[in-house]
Structure 1
Amino acid sequence: MSMLIRTEQSSDHEEVYRLNYMAFGNRENESRLIEKIRSSEGFIPELSLVAIEGDQLVGHALFSKAKLVGEETTREVIVLAPIAVAPGCQRRGIGSALIREGLGRCKAWGAELVFLIGHPEYYPKFGFQAARRLGFDLKQFQVPDEVFLVCQLEEGQTPMRGELRYPDSFFG
């Protein structure tokens, strides 16, 4: 069956909520996070992606704005969170397709950096690297160095370094 990756529409919201609820072990944290991000300044509609097979929504990825705070300046960056694939559809390339499409859209949107907290064995195939080793910091979440990752979208450029700050929509 062929898969379509497209921009999320408002008619998808309920199904995206259910998908994330099921994909994250029947807990609502990620589904509620998506709702908070959608109603925040950090939401970029064209960077909320869904994967469709037939008439079924089988995946969702949300890329949104965050800030990188340096010594002298603050810059907008992108964070990927959450990403989910329907439990019966995992390990078929749906998540990979969502990430590749999302990174391409982030680059076209003008983003230089995309950050995430995720599995260090999975994300490097998309260009993600350990962020702290590259001079980035994260203080809002206490996570091991190997799961705090960054993808530099413009090869050869030396991006600004600093502390990643997730927006308020990620808390509370």
Structure 2
Amino acid sequence: MVRHEQASDHEAVRDVHTQAFGDGGRVPALVDALRAARTFPAPLSLVAVVAERVVGHVMLSACRLDALPRLVDVLSLSPLGVLPEFQRQGIGTRLVAHALAEADGRGIPLVFLEGSPHYYGKRGFTDATTSGFRPPTLRYPPGAFQVAKLSSYEEWMTGTFVYSDVFWALDCVGLRSDGLEGVAT
């Protein structure tokens, strides 16, 4: 079952990302900071539950597209995590599908992410650079900057994707020289 995250889920969500990413707490810290940020639109946080246990989590948070006519409110899908013992069972796919449906229902035109084109390409995302969008950093590996165009998208909506300050403050964009991927996956 996929549902909206509740305050009582916060510790379980932290555990999901700690186990899924194993990065010393950077992803759970990102989730906490995105929850606390005062943004419009407000973050959308969904959990996957199996037998009353939170086994997966996805978050959509406010970002901007710097289009020539004006700024456009868009969302970033990040992070997406599933407990290791529940991976490869379609839980991440369901979380992504629900997240995109909710974003579309809220009139959001675009959802961006940094992640595997092999994984996300099968879930509604395409290479953003070939669609006329510029990434927020040069540290993305080829194909990792992706976008899902939703029903309120209009052709004039092209430009530079701009992450919220939270991603930059926690250094969660792109690759660093140590080879660790950014967490916007």
Using the size of structure 2 for normalisation, the TM-score is 0.86
Give the total of aligned pairs: 168
Equivalent-residue separation in structure 1 for 2:71 and 2:136 (angstroms): 16
Residue 143 of structure 2 aligns to a residue in which SS? helix
**In structure 2, what is the Cα distance between the partners aligned to 1:23 and 1:60?**
10
Deviation at 1:155, TM superposition (A): 8.0
Q: Which residue of 2 aligns with 1:170?
A: 167
Aligned position for 1:134: 131
What letter is aligned with 1:44? A
CA offsets, 1:27-85, max 9 Å, x none? Answer: 2111000001001123635x200000002110000011100002231110011000000
**Which deviations, in whole Å up to 9, do the C-alpha atoms of 1:83-124 show, x marking residues without a partner?**
000011100000000000110000001101000000011111
Number of the residue aligned with 1:146: 143
Distance 2:27 2:121 in 1: 23
How far is the alpha carbon of 1:18 from its aligned partner? 1.2
The 8 Å contact of residues 110 and 153 in structure 2, kept in 1 or not, is answered as no
Say which of 16, 25, 29 aligns to 1:28. Answer: 25
CA gap of 1:116–1:156, structure 2 versus 1, over 3 A, is closer
CA contact (8 A) 2:108 2:150 kept: yes
Aligned position for 1:6: 3
Name the residue aligned to 2:181.
none
Q: 1:109 to 1:141 in 2, by over 3 A?
A: farther
Distance 2:147 2:55 in 1: 26
State whether structure 2 residue 57 is matched by structure 1 residue 63: no
1:89 counterpart residue number? 86
Alpha-carbon contact 1:140-1:166 (below 8 Å) kept: no
Kept after mapping to 2: 8 A contact 1:77/1:113: yes
Q: Which residue matches 1:44? A: 42
CA contact (8 A) 2:58 2:79 kept: yes
Moved more, 138-147 or 115-124: 138-147
